[in-house]
Structure 1
């Protein structure tokens, strides 16, 4: 007989939820906005609470990006994007194609996404990569790469760096570059819009 204390998640077959399942739970009131969860690879994952530095970067960064991309793209702040069949993450910033009517009946999908940005502190392992470990890819970066999201930035608050991941192939990003607060960079799909990273990091 297996002792209960020795069981791990590896001993079970976990049900993987689809995006449709997830939406039905929300419609039925099983999941509410207060739950602060997102669907990642078929699993309902609790989002980390926001400390003041993280919340400040979201607030100020959102204002900056909305002004910067005005009339060029829509900036969605901590709202869902649908990555079928089993992921519906809520990235801190999703820069998507500018079409108000497109998102009234559905969330943005991979073909709508121009750039994703996550602000990371305690969630850095889950959100992105760790260049010090040879560019190890982790959960969200893998999900975005598999979905074909062409560019993903991770703002590392503690190190005051921005990790830029590009060129998704076979479920991982082939290009990884690290920038500092003094750098200015332009997204691949909006090359004439230059982002001053100081406004995202500080």
Structure 2
């Protein structure tokens, strides 16, 4: 009888070496989640359009206080490098040309969910909480609701709130800036 197989746990450094060596390329739609190289789901039009709309709105709203990244990596050592739909990060004079943002740089992570809601609420929420990301939102394109996760611990987020699109939400890092959630969704979907 063969012993049970164990999946290899990759570190961020090993993942970067695979990219540098060409084992993984820009055409591979993957991200490193908790030591596993995971293929990213293709985007349906509502997901893509909501991501673009939310990014454009938040970019205009936060342009004087933060830098916006859309579907680009954030490094959460030792074993995760997800590519969230939107990351609101600290302004960097080098525009992160020499590294990806790390937890100390991240103000807010937003994932847009259609078929990925369960994974975003469970696996990604735990990864972001363990990294100490203070504010994590999931825009559910199917129900037009926003899941808000706050108070991260090593066991997960202590606070999870579900809000309707007609709600106004204030980011943890920017308590003076109100975000009308309906601005993040497509008007014909509300």
Residue 81 of structure 1 aligns with which residue? 74
The number of residues matched between the two structures is: 186
Q: Is 2:178 aligned against 1:194?
A: yes
How many angstroms apart in 1 are the aligned matches of 2:29 and 2:153?
30
8 Å CA contact retained: 2:169, 2:179:
yes
Question: Which of 103, 114, 119 is the equivalent residue of 2:112?
Answer: 119
The runs of at least 4 aligned residues of structure 1 exceeding 4 Å deviation read none
Residue 108 of structure 1 aligns with which residue? 101
Question: Which of 43, 47, 51 is the equivalent residue of 1:54?
Answer: 47
Residue 165 of structure 2 aligns with which residue? 181
Q: Which runs of 5+ in 2 are unaligned?
A: none
8 Å CA contact retained: 2:53, 2:185:
no
Q: What aligned pairs does 1:25-174 form with structure 2 within 5 A after superposition? A: 25-101=18-94, 103-128=96-121, 138-174=122-158
Residue 134 of structure 1 aligns with which residue? none
Q: Which runs of 5+ in 1 are unaligned?
A: 129-137
**CA deviation string 1:120-169 (max 9, x = no partner):** 010111111xxxxxxxxx11000000011111001111111001000012
TM-score, L = length of structure 2? 0.94
**CA deviation string 1:32-64 (max 9, x = no partner):** 121110000111000000001101111111111
- Output the aligned Cα RMSD: 1.4
8 Å CA contact retained: 2:168, 2:181:
yes
How many angstroms apart in 2 are the aligned matches of 1:193 and 1:104?
28
SS at the partner of 1:127?
A: helix
